Amino acid sequence: MVRQITNKDDDNDGDDDNDDDDDDDDDMTMMIMMMIMMMMMIMMMMMMMMMMLIIIIIIIIIIIIIIIMIIIIIITTIIIMHKRKKSSR
C-alpha cells in the first residue's frame, strides 16, 4: 500500500512521478534511440552523397555528349563548306 502511495501519478501525465528505479533503463533506451538516429542520419548522408555523385556523373556524361555533338557538327559543316567550295570552282 505504501508503494502505491509513493509511486502515484501526481500530475496526471500517465507515468509515475517517483520512477527512480527505472532511470537507468530510460538512459539506455535514450542511448539506443540516439544511436539509431545517428545511424539513420549517416545513412541519409550516404544516400545523399551517392545521389549527388550519380547526378554529377550523369551531368558530366551529358556535357561530354553535347561536346562530341558540337565537334561532329563543326566537322560536318567544315566538310560541307569544303565540298561546296570545290563544287563552286
Which residue, chain included where needed, has cell 540516439?
A: 34
pTM (predicted TM-score): 0.43
d(CA 86, CA 66): 30
Angle made by CA atoms 9, 10, 13, in degrees to the nearest 5: 65
From first to last of its 89 residues, what are the pLDDT tens digits of the chain?
A: 444 555 555 555 665 555 555 555 667 788 899 999 999 999 999 999 999 999 999 999 999 999 999 999 999 999 998 888 777 65
Element (H, E) at 5: helix 2-6
Which residue, chain included where needed, has cell 538512459?
A: 27
